[in-house]
Structure 1
Amino acid sequence: MIKGEFMNESMLGKVAVVTGAGGGIGRDIALQLAQAGARVVVNDIGVSLSGEGSDAGPAAAVVAEIRTAGGEAAVNTDSIATREGAQRLIQQAVDSFGRIDCVVNNAGILRDRYFHKMSEEEWDAVMKVHLYGSFYTSRAAAGLFKEQGGGSFVHMTSTSGLVGNRAQANYAAAKMGIVGLSRTIAIDMQRSGVRSNCIAPFAWGRMVASVPITTDAQRLAAQRKQQLMTSAKVAPLAVFLASDLAADVNGQVFAVRGNEIMLMSQPRPVKSVHQSEGWTVQSIAEHALPAVRSALTPLEETADVFNWPPV
């Protein structure tokens, strides 16, 4: 176990897998899981934001940090965008540490493009890492969780899907798919003591830093976000959800923005209208739409909804 000022034992005796843990949010989650007593498999294939290249160095560096501090960790460089890679990753956790208790699905890439210009390759690449990757790793661990009567999934979603951002149809679709995946895992596996939750992180990392800055106002805002919205701020919630302290938290979506933790809403009926004789196109236009118009969701982006400075 890592010894230090902020040591806790919420993950003592547990084994965790963190994908995309060579840097950014994944790295901080891996470090804080180890600090909480977990043995950690650090997965990262060391690619660029666009998914190019391969380098075992980032994952190895995180493992070295954990070991230097007195923790236990192992390097994994398999691609979770394939079923075989995800299966090898989960099997390595069992082979290295004898069990698995938590999977943090954090790995991701970006291929931003306005929808009308997006290629099939750009769509597929993002889907395979984010959505398929979350499915493959979760599915590979699910049987083990069921056998041992417990386990926790922590998935990374995004306000890009929950709210909306331009030029990210692939990313938004994948991230909303992860919300549905997580919710259904929670429902399907609750009787086996398995939990599944999502985090939408606001953190200054490679992905956020890659967004173009064109004005002084954007530059000042970016500097403030870089100072306050660090990846280390996201990690405590991930460790909490991974641990038994969150035994009664299942199927939820949270957001972390600086020092704020938010519970996000999930789709439920807002308003309904009824007409005993049924509806026609004309009656919908004349009666149904006016009745619900005030509750229509504005066409906003993430920055419009989260329009206060991070704290």
Structure 2
Amino acid sequence: MSGICEDRVVIVTGAGRGLGRAHARAFAAHGAKVVVNDVGVELDGSGGATTPGDEVAREIVDAGGSAVVHRADVADWNQARELVDFAVETYGRLDVLVNNAGVVRDRMFVNLSEQEWDDVVRVHLKGHAATMRHAAAYWRGCSRAGEPVDARVVNTASGAGLLGSIGQSNYAAAKAGIAALTINTAAELGRYGVTVNAIAPSARTRMTEEVFRDRMAAPGAQTFDAMAPENVSPLVVWLGSAESREVTGRMFEVEGGAVALATGWRHGPERTAERRWEAAELGAAIKDLVAEAPAPEPVYGAV
């Protein structure tokens, strides 16, 4: 296998199914050595089958590529470190970290339990932070030792994290946190030769199959399946390649054949008083600011 990621060492978390599986296979097809990370749990967090990750690694090896499996719980700080160490010990280095692992516990906010909040924030936000923290420490060490570093992190956010999504307050908050984490770490890690970007993908996976059921390709149809996870992976592979070294701190929306660059919070219109504002007089100023600013994008699912 050869391609734009020839001989690069890549960790893909949540790589047993869906987007992660597609990413792992795509990186391998472009010559990367892949660490397939997956704990094999069901959507509700039960189980822990070893099969999904093993199957992905076997598919890659059978196709002539190189892949190994590590079953770390990425939201466990120590296991995340073990995952990074495993990649380095197995292949001699680490070049790319793709954070993809996630769960959903959808519920209207007034019905949301503490456990449902904690589960989603833990896997998505902490799961991104833990793996990034240890990968960053490794790359900083390489840089300080005078070794060349041309490393990449690709995080997985969501349109829910950018715009909100009815019935997904926990998921939206976690994904918004990932967006902030991305731009912050991009600013901090650039000095070590590391870029950090994120994607907000739309694709049919276990987590979204009900949402996108009406957009599935008809059985036997020869038309382009815009919701296939494989449509997202080319962007992820490119962001993991040496070609992307000038791109960092960015958020890309991707669906089917469309790739868009999302822009986040920016400083907007302003009113300034040369003194402390009085609460009673702020009403007119706020009305002017709202009138001058662009209208916010609607929250997904809002009526």
Q: Specify if TM > 0.5.
A: yes
* Corresponding position of 1:68: 62
TM-score, normalised to structure 1's length? Answer: 0.89
* Corresponding position of 2:209: 209
Note the aligned Cα RMSD (angstroms).
2.0
* Corresponding position of 2:191: 191
Pair 299,101 (structure 1): closer, same or farther in 2 beyond 3 Å: closer
| Partner Cα separation in structure 2 for residue 288 and residue 173 of structure 1 | 26
Q: CA deviation at 1:209?
A: 1.1
1:18 is aligned with what amino acid? V
Q: CA deviation at 1:24?
A: 0.6
1:84 corresponds to 2:82: no
Out of 233, 247, 253, the position equivalent to 1:235 is 233
1:76 is aligned with what amino acid? H
How many residues in Structure 1 have an aligned counterpart in Structure 2?
A: 292
Task: Note if contact 1:146-1:194 (Cα within 8 Å) is conserved in structure 2.
Answer: no
Q: CA deviation at 1:301?
A: 2.2
* Corresponding position of 1:5: none
Task: Note if contact 1:204-1:226 (Cα within 8 Å) is conserved in structure 2.
Answer: no
* Corresponding position of 2:249: 251
Pair 37,221 (structure 1): closer, same or farther in 2 beyond 3 Å: closer
TM-score, normalised to structure 2's length? Answer: 0.91
1:176 corresponds to 2:176: yes
Structure 1: which 4+ aligned runs deviate by more than 6 Å? none
| Partner Cα separation in structure 1 for residue 135 and residue 199 of structure 2 | 19
Pair 158,71 (structure 1): closer, same or farther in 2 beyond 3 Å: same
2:96 is aligned with what amino acid? C
Pair 81,291 (structure 1): closer, same or farther in 2 beyond 3 Å: closer
1:102 is aligned with what amino acid? V
Q: Which runs of 5+ in 2 are unaligned?
A: 143-148
Name the % identity. 37
Q: Which runs of 5+ in 1 are unaligned?
A: 3-7, 212-217, 305-311
1:190 is aligned with what amino acid? G
Task: Note if contact 2:216-2:227 (Cα within 8 Å) is conserved in structure 1.
Answer: no
Task: Note if contact 2:269-2:292 (Cα within 8 Å) is conserved in structure 1.
Answer: no
* Corresponding position of 1:107: 101
| Partner Cα separation in structure 2 for residue 25 and residue 104 of structure 1 | 11
Q: CA deviation at 1:227?
A: 2.6
Q: Deviations over 1:154-208 (max 9, x none)?
A: 0000011101111111111111111111111111111111110000000011111
Deviates more, 1:84-93 or 1:293-302: 293-302
Pair 113,236 (structure 1): closer, same or farther in 2 beyond 3 Å: same
The structure with the largest helix share of the pair is: 1
1:127 corresponds to 2:121: yes
Task: Note if contact 2:150-2:245 (Cα within 8 Å) is conserved in structure 1.
Answer: no
Q: CA deviation at 1:222?
A: 5.2
* Corresponding position of 1:57: 51
* Corresponding position of 2:300: 302
* Corresponding position of 1:272: 270
